[in-house]
Structure 1
Amino acid sequence: MVAHLLRLKLTLLRNSLRRSPWQVVGLAVAVLYGLGALAGVVIGMAVVSVQEPDIRGLVVVLLGSLLVLGWWVVPLLAFGLDATIDPARFVTFAIPRRSLLTGLALAGVVGVPGVVTLVSVLAMAGVWWRTPAALVAGIVCAVVALATCVLGSRATTSLASGLLAGRRFREVMAAVAVLPIIVIGPVLGRLTDGGLPSAATVEQLADVLAWTPFGAVWAVPGDVAAGQWGLAAARFAIALATVAVVAVVWDRALAHALVNPAHEKASGKGHGLGWFDRLPATPLGAVTARCLTYWARDPRYALAVAVVPVLAIVLYVVSPGGALVLLIAPITGYLMGWGISADVAYDGTAFWTHVAAPLRGHVDRLGRVLAAGAIALPTVTLLAVGAAVLSGDPSAVPALLGVSLGVLLTSLGVSSVLSALVVYPVQLPGENPFQSKQGASTAAVVSQLAGSLAIMVLCLPEGLLALMAIRSGSAALGWAALAVGLVLGALLLAIGVRLGGRTLDRTAPDLLRRIVAFA
């Protein structure tokens, strides 16, 4: 059964590459990124292995702890990472749970992240080549570390999937999950005292991590090299206990999920027609009303709004005098404008109503833009003015407004075109946001990268003018940035809506076909 699951994983990966050229491009990008990361790790470990004084243990503990933490946390935050073999698919099959767990764990190593991690842990074990006993311990601990990464990742996602079955509870947890970001600035400031961390601070951090589930396994070879066999045994026991605990947690969470699959309860409360009562009964009014309802009630859209105050606090705290807070308005303009780039994918199979109805593509594009703009325009404007005042430079208001509104309008225009070209699997309305979707990573990463680069290039004129205006204090340049941002942004938005509409008229049936295939 384990071998069958591995073959199934490979077959699904191969078939996903045949589905769309985006999958191939995405895989190529992921492979190149992985090779770059591997080259950095291998070269870095080679350099560290011959350094004097000996810093092998320090570097390996810090880097290894970060690797484990990434495997445990990133799948919870980066919705859409690869989950080719979804455990929920095996609910109706009488597969022994131990075989299922083993197969899914090994399948987690099949793929770019798994291969990169495997080679990385071996490279970190090889850093002890000058000490044979430590090298043997490092190879053993590399296997344990890989198991800690994969099993921990499965445990956190499975546990979160079971705990966050209720939509409202998920929304609260999504807000709570970003709170630790707020304290990053004060913590770093306390550790560094305004400069780079001292050697003593780094050593203290490594010493603490060496006794945690994240770093204990990485500290064992260093203890062996130093002849501290008691410490090595204690930390190896922590490493093995960590693997055992996450395996048990995953086993219990998976057993519960297979017997009690999560589902949403329908609400019996009536809310009337909402925005459909307030907007004209026209195709444009209907699209705008539906999208406004999304922004008000759908947590997938609310995330772009909820992250704004968190970003503002972080940017204010981490920068001397709060100078980086000036970036909050342009960043918000990008996030809220780019939020509609997945609109068609978020529609799901309900997109058939747009295909079947006599709805022109430019009307669809404009309705989505109006809904997003109704929320984004006042938000970005208030943030631009507030950021300038908070930073102690009210004269920067025109420049900030110019670049922020320019980024917003440009992002809306680019999103209008991109969402008519690319769809990828996303969480369905009311679905667990911690559940990954097969194939989402490749198309999503490529489209996000291409769209972001396009927005960056198109916003260069107002961006450069705003930067020169703020740095020089020139009021004329500030007003020029405002004019260029508004005019160029509006022009790009109009082009995006028109081009996106024509593209949607041509691609709508194919987009629907792909959405249905994802379901």
Structure 2
Amino acid sequence: MVATLLRLRFRVLGNQLMRSPWQLVGFLFGALYGLGLLAGIVVGLVLLGFGDLQLASDVIVGAGSLVTLGWALVPLVAFGVDTTLDPDRLVVFPMSRARMMVALTLAGVCGIPGIVTSAATLATIATWVHWPAATVAWIVSAPLAVVTAVVASRTVATAASGLGSGRRFREVSGILIFIPLILAGPIIAAVATGFAVNAEALLALLPVLGWTPLGAAWAVPADAAAGDLLAAGAKLLIALATLAVLWVLWRQSLARSLVNPRRASAAVVRAGSIGWFGRVPTGTAGAIFARALTYWTRDPRYLRQLVGAPLVPLLLWFYARDGDPFAALAFSAPIIAFVIGIVVYADISYDGTAFGTELITGASGRADRVGRTFAAAAVALPLVLVAAVLPFAFSGRWEQFPGILGMSIAILFVCYGVCALTSAQLVVPVAASGDNPFKRVPGSTFLQGLAFLGIWLAALLLSAPAVIVGVIGFFTENAAMSWIAFAGGIVLGSVVLAVGIMIGGRMLDRTGPVLLARLKAMKNA
């Protein structure tokens, strides 16, 4: 049964790669990148072996501890990334819990992260081969380090699936994950600064890591090389005890999760309450507007896009804090307009097969484009206006305000116009509502990534005239140029938006059934 599950694991991967040549090309590029990274690690480990034993010990124990910690933390922020061998799906098969755990462990080792970790761990022999005692200890400790990392990941993932079995928990946590990701630059800079300031304290901490569950297995060869066999034996016992405790915890969590699988949750609403459908004008466009606005206010896939909007000024201020923060903050509105405006290219993809309901009603393509665009604008315009007004309200330099506002509106409307066209021709695989935002969606291809890049470039090129005039007016503090950018941006954006809705609506009248067929094929993939 274990061998069957492993064959299934690789069969699924093979089927995904053979579905599209472009997906295979993307996988090969990723594999080449991974091989290049691994080659660099091997070269570094070889050179490390010719250095001081203490340096080799610090580097390997420190890096190994980070690897183990990374394996343990990833399930907390990326549950459901790869569900090929999900325990919820395996529960119907006639296999014991112990066999299931062995199969899941081997599947983790044989996955791409597991292969990279295993190869890097095996490559540490290039360092320890210079000390015979370390080589003997490596034979036991290297496999132990890899298995401990994988089992730690499975233990945390199973425990997290129990805590996050409710859909709302998964949705909220999926949204909050994006905050530290968006702020990754400032966080990394702060951590790097802290490392530079406290380098001596961190170096003193590295020997302590060898006595912890994170670094014990990685530190055994170093102590053996130094001739401290007592410390090596003690750390080996710590590593074995860590694996045993993790195995027991995983076994208990797995037993609970198999008996109580993830459950769906549904909101309880007052009888007769129809939300936005009762607050907007009636008609086809009004119904589509209400449905799209419901997505923007309730669907976590849309809300994730809005999380980043308030953080854009913070990021711009951080990177420009040593220069002119006002100039950086003033341009937060155009950036927010672009980030939020380009999202609607995937509107129909987010609908999924529910798009068929709209087709059955006979709704025109133009009504669809109008309803979706107005719903997106109802959410985005207030954010863009606030982002445009606040920097000038605090600085009092209102003569530059019209250009920034015109630039922002031009970018937003141009994005909507471009997406009104492209979304009538293109649907892309997206995660379902409630899924993990990092979940690998079958069908994602390299070609679709190029198409998305084309949408970005088209929106940037069409809005370029308003942006260029607005930038010139801002930095020259020319009030006339600023007002020209304001008027020109509104006119340019409105024209592109009107043309996009008109032509995109006609396209959708023809392509609607084709798009629905593609959405059904993606759902069944």
Amino acid at match of 2:86: D
1:305 equivalent in structure 2: 306
2:296 equivalent in structure 1: 295
The SS at the match of 1:443 is coil
1:348 equivalent in structure 2: 352
1:512 equivalent in structure 2: 519
1:34 equivalent in structure 2: 34
Contact 1:403 1:459 in 2 (8 A): no
Deviation of the 1:95 alpha carbon: 1.8
Residues in 2 aligned to 1:392 and 1:208: alpha-carbon distance in whole angstroms: 55
- When Rg is computed on C-alpha atoms for both structures, the one with the higher figure is 2
Does residue 337 (structure 1) correspond to residue 338 (structure 2)? The answer is no
Matches within 5 A, 1:37-76: 37-50=37-50, 55-76=55-76
Does residue 123 (structure 1) correspond to residue 130 (structure 2)? The answer is no
Deviation of the 1:352 alpha carbon: 1.9
| Amino-acid identity (%) | 39
Residues in 2 aligned to 1:402 and 1:208: alpha-carbon distance in whole angstroms: 58
Residues in 2 aligned to 1:209 and 1:469: alpha-carbon distance in whole angstroms: 57
Q: Are residues 296 and 138 of structure 1, via their aligned partners in 2, closer, same or farther at CA, if it must alter by over 3 Å?
A: same
Matches within 5 A, 1:279-290: 279-290=280-291
Deviation of the 1:52 alpha carbon: 6.4
Residues in 2 aligned to 1:463 and 1:236: alpha-carbon distance in whole angstroms: 63
Residues in 2 aligned to 1:46 and 1:480: alpha-carbon distance in whole angstroms: 63
Deviation of the 1:319 alpha carbon: 6.2
2:387 equivalent in structure 1: 383
Q: Which is further off, 286-295 or 148-157?
A: 148-157
Amino acid at match of 1:352: G
Deviation of the 1:382 alpha carbon: 1.5
Amino acid at match of 1:300: R
Residues in 2 aligned to 1:142 and 1:248: alpha-carbon distance in whole angstroms: 21
2:378 equivalent in structure 1: 374
Contact 1:9 1:85 in 2 (8 A): yes
Deviation of the 1:167 alpha carbon: 3.5
Matches within 5 A, 1:304-323: 304-309=305-310, 313=314, 316=317, 320=321, 323=325
Amino acid at match of 1:383: A
Q: Which is further off, 9-18 or 401-410?
A: 401-410
The SS at the match of 1:109 is helix
Q: Deviations over 1:482-505 (max 9, x none)?
A: 677666655665666566552643
Contact 2:168 2:265 in 1 (8 A): no
Residues in 1 aligned to 2:128 and 2:395: alpha-carbon distance in whole angstroms: 50
Q: Are residues 97 and 172 of structure 1, via their aligned partners in 2, closer, same or farther at CA, if it must alter by over 3 Å?
A: same
Does residue 422 (structure 1) correspond to residue 427 (structure 2)? The answer is yes
Equivalent of 2:361 in 343, 352, 357 = 357
Deviation of the 1:278 alpha carbon: 2.2
Deviation of the 1:297 alpha carbon: 1.8
Q: Deviations over 1:249-274 (max 9, x none)?
A: 33333322222222224444226122
Q: Are residues 368 and 307 of structure 1, via their aligned partners in 2, closer, same or farther at CA, if it must alter by over 3 Å?
A: same
TM-score computed with the length of structure 1 as normaliser: 0.80
Contact 2:9 2:85 in 1 (8 A): yes
Residues in 1 aligned to 2:424 and 2:218: alpha-carbon distance in whole angstroms: 44
Deviation of the 1:418 alpha carbon: 5.4
Deviation of the 1:5 alpha carbon: 0.2
Residues in 2 aligned to 1:65 and 1:477: alpha-carbon distance in whole angstroms: 57
Matches within 5 A, 1:14-413: 14-21=14-21, 23-50=23-50, 55-78=55-78, 81-174=81-174, 185=186, 189=190, 192=193, 196=196, 199-200=199-200, 202-204=202-204, 206-207=206-207, 209-270=209-270, 272-309=273-310, 313=314, 316=317, 320=321, 323=325, 329=333, 332-386=336-390, 397=401, 401=405, 404-405=408-409, 408-409=412-413, 411-412=415-416
Matches within 5 A, 1:419-498: 420-424=425-429, 426-428=431-433, 431=434, 433-434=435-436, 440=441, 443=444, 447=448, 450-452=451-453, 454-455=455-456, 458-459=459-460, 461=464
Residues in 1 aligned to 2:503 and 2:145: alpha-carbon distance in whole angstroms: 50
Residues in 2 aligned to 1:326 and 1:216: alpha-carbon distance in whole angstroms: 51
Q: Are residues 490 and 76 of structure 1, via their aligned partners in 2, closer, same or farther at CA, if it must alter by over 3 Å?
A: farther
Residues in 1 aligned to 2:133 and 2:77: alpha-carbon distance in whole angstroms: 39
Residues in 1 aligned to 2:518 and 2:279: alpha-carbon distance in whole angstroms: 30
Q: Deviations over 1:101-147 (max 9, x none)?
A: 21122222334333323222223443333233334434543323322
Contact 2:392 2:398 in 1 (8 A): yes
Deviation of the 1:440 alpha carbon: 0.6
Residues in 2 aligned to 1:91 and 1:46: alpha-carbon distance in whole angstroms: 45
Residues in 1 aligned to 2:136 and 2:332: alpha-carbon distance in whole angstroms: 50
The SS at the match of 1:459 is helix
Contact 2:26 2:446 in 1 (8 A): yes
Deviation of the 1:185 alpha carbon: 4.9
Contact 2:403 2:483 in 1 (8 A): yes
Q: Which is further off, 173-182 or 23-32?
A: 173-182
Q: Which is further off, 371-380 or 178-187?
A: 178-187
Q: Are residues 8 and 436 of structure 1, via their aligned partners in 2, closer, same or farther at CA, if it must alter by over 3 Å?
A: farther
**Please, which runs of 5 or more residues in structure 2 have no aligned partner?**
none
Residues in 1 aligned to 2:227 and 2:468: alpha-carbon distance in whole angstroms: 58
Q: Report how many aligned residue pairs link the two structures.
A: 513
Deviation of the 1:6 alpha carbon: 0.7
Amino acid at match of 1:31: A
RMSD: 4.2
Amino acid at match of 2:2: V
Q: Deviations over 1:470-518 (max 9, x none)?
A: 7776767766776776666556656665665526436323223224414
Contact 1:399 1:469 in 2 (8 A): yes
